[in-house]
Amino acid sequence: MKKNLLFAMACVLGLFGTANAQEPDQPNADSTYLICERFENYEVGNKLAEKGNDCWTTWSTKEGGAEDAFVDTLNGNKVAHFKNGNDQVILLGGYTTGCYEIEFDVYIPNGKNGYYNILHDFAGSSSVWAMQGYLHLTDDGSTNQVPAAGHGTIHAAGNSVADLACVYDAWMHLRFIVDIDRDLATMLCQMPEAEEDTIVSWQWSKSSFDDDGTLNRKLDAMNFYPPLKSSEFYLDNFTLKKTSGETAPEITFSDEIKQWSLVDDLASVEVTIENTGTSVADYTAWIDYGVSEGGNKVSVINYDDEITEEKTQILGLTFKEPTLIELGAMYTAAAYSSSVAGTKVTHVSYPFFEFEAGNGYGIVEGSDIKFRVYKQGYNGQPGECLSEKVVAYSEITQPGWFSAKLDTPVVLSGFNVWATVEFLSPAQNAYPLLLDGMSENLAPYGDVIRFGGEGAFYSMAEMFEQSYGNVHIRMTCAGEPVFGGWAELDQVDGILPMGETATMTINFNTFGLSAGQTYEAKLVFSVNNVEEVFETPLLLQVCGENVEEILSNNYNIYPNPTTGMVTIEGENIDYVAVYNSLGQLVKVVKTQNNVVDMSACDNGVYFFNVVDNAGKTSVQRVVVAK
């Protein structure tokens, strides 16, 4: 592996600097390509990122520096020439849907070797590798590359999944088909005077080693890097083109979900969702309890314990250069929905201390501090930034908790929410991270961090291989809470290929609820690349011992109890939805003669939800007793 995913250790940490990547320009030749780099319009001796098209940058985004490779000639053609010390990146556009082909020619002089990778996310040391390829090199994943004439190692959704035959002093043609919509990638190779061969196919969303369980389908960049002193290679005819039209996922599921439960009981309902669209769906789901109006109740939501000299951990990090740090916590719906659902986050708080005189709270003097609240996103990461408050360094006037008032309060309606603080840490002698030291009470997302202002968040306990507890970050919420917490999803995100179905479970808890009451919410799905959300009503009817009191008798249903056929007396009936005692949908019957066949159903209590042509419903209980 070229670089470890994170060069990070608590108190002694060396990170490569990162900066924001640029979007690539339109191709310099042939409009059928998104990128077409044949180098013939480049000047020999110029550096790629410094003088070339905007799609080029370097690993540290330092155009014109040592990482930036030169344009050269080989056999009369202009080419990109990479030697040890170069670390070139070509930005591919950050696509998350569609099918694409990447092609390029690579030439390895006799006795030399090379390396390249494709990136799901380009963010310096926090980048996410989609695949890695070695040329005349083998690698076992431990950063121990060994020259190997005629061979190359491929890491793609696994360690060393293929061996690539290589040749010296000749152009090898590599082609990658990345079908983001089908979540499938294929690598092909053509040697001189030979047919093109398929080298390997893999699940595109997996990382190069598939070692952290996270999935990412983004096509962001490629990296060309000579890792050893013996490394040297040439690149020509690099192209990127899209081979499919516009696509989009679409989620379909029940029009309405109803549950009948007794007081002080637990129940569950399975919901089947289907992707009927033309692209794989990254989805995230939550129970939305709505928003309250007015109210002046103030609550603080936090995972961390109180700041004490005995427990609180103040961590110092050492960087090669000043680096952006963003840290915080993700508060699940289960952590707040039963207490402050429907209220608004008005403040985010974080403590600042001078660990030693003159260190400036571990923040570069004069730089801004940014407090953010994010909405639930895909694959265990934050989504849309719902609110950001920029605080000038000069506003931190005394040690202790600083509470940033958000310009735009954030409604807590039932989705997971991330609270973070971002600041610029000096290169050395900085102690900006404060955690509560309660490692035995660490929340699953109570200690997240990322570097460089982009890329994925990671758990500090996993990154540092030692737990320092939860981040000292808190949210202040104001307003009148709505009644929430009575329903919970067993999973909040996932990936659903097109044409396939998945099942999630809604767990209901009626402890403390009132008999005869109906509680309303919405099941909401947010899907990648689709602006609108998909949602359906969610109803919980709580029954007491006298269940008949909450059931209507608009229709005469007989025989009841029944051993099989049930007749419903009435007119203008559109359909009948039959639920079992757990609220699970058994069948939907659209009948002309108002007869429902229950002969295949087990003995027990069922609820008939009779819907007329005007959309009005009537719920009645039917007992099957054979």
Residues 174 and 78 both lie in one domain: yes
Residues 275 and 167 both lie in one domain: no
Average pLDDT across the chain, whole number: 87
Indicate the DSSP class of residue 169.
S
Residues 400 and 528 both lie in one domain: no
Residues 424 and 572 both lie in one domain: no
Residue 553 scores a pLDDT above 70 = no
Helices marked H in 428-507? 460-464
Cβ-contact 473, 349 below 8 angstroms: yes
Would you say residue 512 lies in a domain?
yes
- List the domain range (segments joined by +) for residue 127: 35-242
Would you say residue 8 lies in a domain?
no
Tell me the torsion sign for CA atoms 25, 84, 142, 111: positive
Task: Give the H or E element holding residue 315.
Answer: strand 313-317
pLDDT of residue 453: 85
Helices marked H in 341-484? 460-464
Residue 611 scores a pLDDT above 90 = no
Residues 358 and 388 both lie in one domain: yes
Would you say residue 145 lies in a domain?
yes
Residues 6+ apart with CB under 8 A from 59: 16, 67, 87, 88, 89, 124, 223, 225
Residue type for position 425: S
C-alpha span between 29 and 9 (Å, rounded) = 46
- Here the CATH number for the domain that contains residue 134 is 2.60.120.200
C-alpha span between 322 and 243 (Å, rounded) = 42
Cβ-contact 476, 409 below 8 angstroms: no
Residues 6+ apart with CB under 8 A from 456: 121, 126, 128, 214, 381, 450
Residues 169 and 207 both lie in one domain: yes
Task: Give the H or E element holding residue 335.
Answer: helix 333-340
CA distances from 599 to 484, 596, 623 (A): 38, 9, 12
- Residue pLDDT, tens place only, 282-313: 899 999 999 988 788 999 999 999 998 888 99
Which band of pLDDT confidence, cut at 50, 70 and 90, is reported for residue 548? Answer: very low
Q: How many residues does the chain have?
A: 626
3-state secondary structure 95-153: ECCCEEEEEEEEECCCCCEEEEEEEEECECECCEEEEEEEECEEECCCCCEEECCCCEE
Residues 279 and 406 both lie in one domain: no
Cβ-contact 284, 377 below 8 angstroms: yes
3-state secondary structure 579-625: EECCCCEEEEECCCCCEEECCCCCCEEEEEEEEECCCCEEEEEEEEC
Task: Give the H or E element holding residue 13.
Answer: none
Which of 460, 495, 523 terminates a domain? The answer is 460
pLDDT of residue 29: 41
Residues 267 and 310 both lie in one domain: no
Give the mean pLDDT of 267-274: 89
Query: Whole-structure pTM over 0.85, yes or no?
Result: no
* CA–CA–CA angle 128, 216, 433 (5° rounding): 55
Which band of pLDDT confidence, cut at 50, 70 and 90, is reported for residue 582? Answer: low
Residue type for position 473: I
Residue 189, strand partner residues:
174, 197
Would you say residue 28 lies in a domain?
no
C-alpha span between 436 and 304 (Å, rounded) = 6
Would you say residue 256 lies in a domain?
yes
**Strand pairing report for 88-95 and 56-58:** antiparallel
3-state SS, residue 304: coil
**Strand pairing report for 556-558 and 313-317:** unpaired
Residues 6+ apart with CB under 8 A from 180: 95, 96, 97, 98, 99, 100, 204, 217, 219, 279, 280
pLDDT of residue 23: 31
Q: Which token pair is 432?
A: 């900006």
Residue 20 scores a pLDDT above 90 = no
pLDDT of residue 375: 94
Peptide bond into 559 cis (omega under 30): yes
Q: How far is residue 214 CA from its own chain's centroid?
A: 8
pLDDT of residue 15: 26
Residues 285 and 307 both lie in one domain: no
C-alpha span between 290 and 484 (Å, rounded) = 9
Q: Which token pair is 376?
A: 């639930």
Give the mean pLDDT of 322-340: 91
Residue 77 gets the label, from left (phi > 0), alpha (psi -120 to 50) or beta, of beta
Residues of the chain with pLDDT > 70: what percent? 92
Which of 503, 527, 543 terminates a domain? The answer is 543
- Residue pLDDT, tens place only, 336-353: 988 899 999 999 999 998
Closest to 284 (Cα-Cα) out of 154, 381, 402: 381
C-alpha span between 125 and 5 (Å, rounded) = 6
- Here the CATH number for the domain that contains residue 531 is 2.60.40.10
- Counting Cα atoms < 13 Å in the Cβ hemisphere of 319 gives 23
Q: Which residues of 567-576 are buried (b: 16+ CB within 10 A; e: fewer)?
A: bbeeeebeeb
Residues 265 and 400 both lie in one domain: no
Number of domains in the chain: 4
- Here the CATH number for the domain that contains residue 311 is 2.60.120
Give the range among 80-89, 110-119, 553-562, 563-572 with minimum mean pLDDT.
553-562
Which band of pLDDT confidence, cut at 50, 70 and 90, is reported for residue 25? Answer: very low
Would you say residue 348 lies in a domain?
yes
Residue 1 scores a pLDDT above 90 = no
C-alpha dihedral (408, 409, 413, 419), degrees to nearest 10: 100
Would you say residue 591 lies in a domain?
yes
Task: Give the H or E element holding residue 62.
Answer: none
Residues 127 and 221 both lie in one domain: yes
Residues 6+ apart with CB under 8 A from 494: 282, 283, 502, 504
Which of 176, 210, 242 terminates a domain? The answer is 242
Residue 197, strand partner residues:
189
Closest to 87 (Cα-Cα) out of 48, 137, 43: 48
- Counting Cα atoms < 13 Å in the Cβ hemisphere of 171 gives 13
Q: Which token pair is 604?
A: 């027990």
- Here the CATH number for the domain that contains residue 571 is 2.60.40.3580
- Residue pLDDT, tens place only, 160-186: 999 999 999 999 999 999 999 889 999
Would you say residue 3 lies in a domain?
no
Please give the full DSSP string across 179-246, using - where no structure is assigned.
ETTTTEEEEEEE-TTS--EEEEEEETTS-SS--S------EEEEEE---STTBEEEEEEEEEEE-S--
Residues 108 and 222 both lie in one domain: yes
